[in-house]
C-alpha cells in the first residue's frame, strides 16, 4: 500500500482506493462459434485478512452499481467504445458478498466478523463479432454441399468421380482455412466442425459408391440382377416421378440428339420398319422363255450394291436391368443426402 492515498476516520477505519492492473484467464465455450456469447467473472478477495481487518466494499457507491468499462484511451472522446479485438462488450455486473460458514451472503455480518471474508466480484459479458463469416465459411460450405448433391444427377460415372475428387480437394482447402480461424478448443466441438466432418464423410462415401458402380458397369454381366426383394423395391420406386427424371449428361451426342434418342428408346413397343421387300403384283405382258431365263441369270449374278443403312439410335442398346437398378439407388442416396443437409445446415451454420 506504499504510495496509495488513504483516509482515516474518527472511528479508526482506514479507507483506501487506487488503480490496479491485472490479467485474467477465463474459461470460454466455443461450441456455438461464431455466435457465441462469453462471460468472464473476476473475483477479488483477501484470504489472509478477515472481515474484521479488510473490507473490499465501497461505501460511497451503491452495491448494485455496474462497473464502468472504458476501452477508448482518447481523453477528448466521450463516445463509449464497445468493440475490441473482434468482441463486443454487451454488459457488465458487480457483486459484493461476505464468505462465511453458510456461504457467500450479501448482507454484512454484525458480529463475529473474524469468521467472514470480503469478496468483490465483477465481470463482463462479451459477444463475438465475425462480419466475414458468411463469405469465408457459409458460402464455401454451401457450395461443397451442392456439389455433393450434384454428383448423383450426373449420368457419366467418370465425370461424377472426377467431381467428387474435386469436391474433396475443395473441402480440404476449406478445412485448413477453417482450422486457422477457429479458437483454441475445449471439451465441446463447435457445430461448424461437426458439419464439416459430416460433409467430408458424405462426399467420400459418394466417391466410393460411384467407383463401385462404375466397376459393376464394366465387370458384371448385363443379365445379372440384384436380389428379388431389392428388385421389387426398385421397380416400385421407378413409378415415382423423381426416379424417372433424366440426369445431367456431358456427352455431345446426347446433348445434340438427346430428344430423338429418348423418343426412339420410348417407342420400343411401336412397330419398327424392316428391310424386307414388299412385292406388288402388276399386270405385265408375258415374256418369252428365253428372255425370262436371261433376266433371272442377270439378277442372280449381280450383287446388291445398295448399302443397308441403320440409324445410330436403332443400334444403341438400352440400359441393362442392373444399370436401371443402380440408377434408382443413386436417386435414393440423393434424397437421403438432401434430408441430411436440410437438417444440419440451419442448425450448424445459423
> Which secondary structure element, helix H or strand E, spans residue 15, and what is its range?
strand 14-16
Which DSSP letter does residue 337 get? H
Q: For domain 133-250+322-349, is the CATH number 1.20.58.390?
A: yes
Instruction: Please say whether the beta carbons of 309 and 207 come within 8 A.
Output: no
Per-residue pLDDT at 165: 96
Q: CA distances (Å), 264 to each of 248, 261, 312, 324, in order?
A: 19, 5, 10, 18
Any residues with CB less than 8 A from the CB of 83 and at least 6 apart, and which? Answer: 89, 129
Q: Dihedral sign, CA of 69, 71, 77, 81?
A: negative
Q: Which of 195, 143, 241 is nearest to 340 (CA)?
A: 195
* DSSP 3-state of 253: helix
Other C-beta atoms lying within 10 Å of the C-beta of residue 145:
24
Other C-beta atoms lying within 10 Å of the C-beta of residue 128:
18
Per-residue pLDDT at 22: 77
Q: CA distances (Å), 234 to each of 217, 240, 242, in order?
A: 18, 10, 13
In this structure, are strands 83-84 and 37-45 parallel, antiparallel, or unpaired? unpaired
d(CA 70, CA 85): 14
**Cell 459477444, residue located:** 127
One digit per residue, the tens of pLDDT, for the chain of length 350 reads 566 677 777 777 777 777 777 788 888 888 888 898 999 888 888 888 888 888 887 655 555 567 777 776 666 766 767 888 888 888 888 888 888 888 888 878 888 888 889 888 888 899 998 888 888 899 999 999 999 999 998 988 889 999 999 999 999 999 998 888 888 766 788 889 999 999 999 999 999 999 998 888 777 766 566 565 556 666 666 667 666 667 667 665 555 555 444 443 444 444 444 444 444 444 555 555 555 545 554 544 454 444 444 443 333 345 566 677 777 888 889 999 999 999 999 999 88
Q: Which three three-digit cell numbers place residue 167?
A: 469436391
Q: Dihedral sign, CA of 94, 96, 99, 100?
A: negative
Per-residue pLDDT at 345: 93
Per-residue pLDDT at 60: 56
User: What is the per-residue burial (b if ≥16 Cβ within 10 Å, else e) of 318-336?
Assistant: eebbbebbbbbbbbebbee
Tell whether omega for the bond before 34 is within 30 degrees of 0, i.e. cis.
yes
Sequence spans of domains, the chain: 36-129, 133-250+322-349
| Opening angle at CA 297, ends 292 and 300, nearest 5 | 125
Q: CA distances (Å), 199 to each of 31, 155, 195, 204, 297, in order?
A: 18, 22, 6, 9, 77
Strand partners, 15: 7
Amino acid at each position: 500500500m506504499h504510495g496509495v492515498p488513504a483516509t482515516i476516520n474518527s472511528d479508526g477505519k482506514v479507507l483506501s482506493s487506487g488503480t490496479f492492473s491485472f490479467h485474467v484467464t477465463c474459461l470460454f465455450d466455443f461450441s456455438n462459434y461464431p455466435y457465441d456469447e462469453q462471460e468472464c467473472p473476476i473475483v477479488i478477495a483477501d484470504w489472509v485478512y478477515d472481515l474484521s481487518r479488510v473490507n473490499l466494499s465501497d461505501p460511497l457507491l451503491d452495491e448494485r452499481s455496474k462497473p464502468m468499462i472504458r476501452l477508448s484511451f482518447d481523453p477528448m472522446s466521450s463516445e463509449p467504445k464497445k468493440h475490441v479485438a473482434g468482441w463486443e462488450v454487451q454488459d457488465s455486473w458487480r457483486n459484493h458478498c461476505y464468505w462465511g460458514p453458510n456461504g457467500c451472503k450479501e448482507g454484512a455480518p454484525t458480529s463475529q466478523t473474524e469468521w467472514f471474508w470480503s469478496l468483490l466480484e465483477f465481470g463482463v459479458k462479451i459477444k463475438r463479432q465475425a462480419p466475414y463469416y458468411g463469405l469465408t465459411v457459409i458460402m464455401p460450405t454451401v457450395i461443397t454441399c451442392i456439389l455433393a448433391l450434384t454428383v448423383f444427377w450426373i449420368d457419366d460415372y467418370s465425370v461424377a468421380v472426377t467431381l467428387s475428387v474435386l469436391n474433396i480437394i475443395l473441402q480440404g482447402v476449406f478445412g485448413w482455412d477453417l482450422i486457422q480461424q477457429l479458437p483454441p478448443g475445449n471439451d465441446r466441438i463447435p457445430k461448424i466442425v461437426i458439419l464439416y466432418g459430416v460433409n467430408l464423410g458424405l462426399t467420400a462415401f459418394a466417391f466410393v459408391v460411384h467407383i463401385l458402380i462404375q466397376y459393376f458397369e464394366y465387370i458384371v454381366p448385363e443379365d445379372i440382377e440384384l436380389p428379388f426383394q431389392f428388385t421389387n423395391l426398385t421397380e416400385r420406386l421407378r413409378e415415382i416421378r423423381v426416379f424417372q427424371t433424366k440426369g445431367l449428361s456431358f456427352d455431345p451426342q446426347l446433348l445434340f440428339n438427346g430428344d430423338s434418342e429418348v423418343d426412339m428408346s420410348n417407342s420400343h413397343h411401336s412397330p419398327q420398319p424392316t428391310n424386307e421387300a414388299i412385292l406388288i403384283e402388276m399386270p405385265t405382258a408375258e415374256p418369252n422363255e428365253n428372255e425370262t431365263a436371261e433376266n433371272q441369270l442377270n439378277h442372280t449374278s449381280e450383287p446388291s450394291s445398295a448399302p443397308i443403312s441403320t440409324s445410330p439410335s436403332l443400334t444403341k442398346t438400352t440400359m441393362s436391368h442392373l444399370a436401371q437398378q443402380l440408377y434408382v439407388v443413386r436417386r435414393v442416396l440423393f434424397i437421403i443426402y438432401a434430408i441430411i443437409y436440410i437438417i444440419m445446415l440451419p442448425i450448424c451454420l445459423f
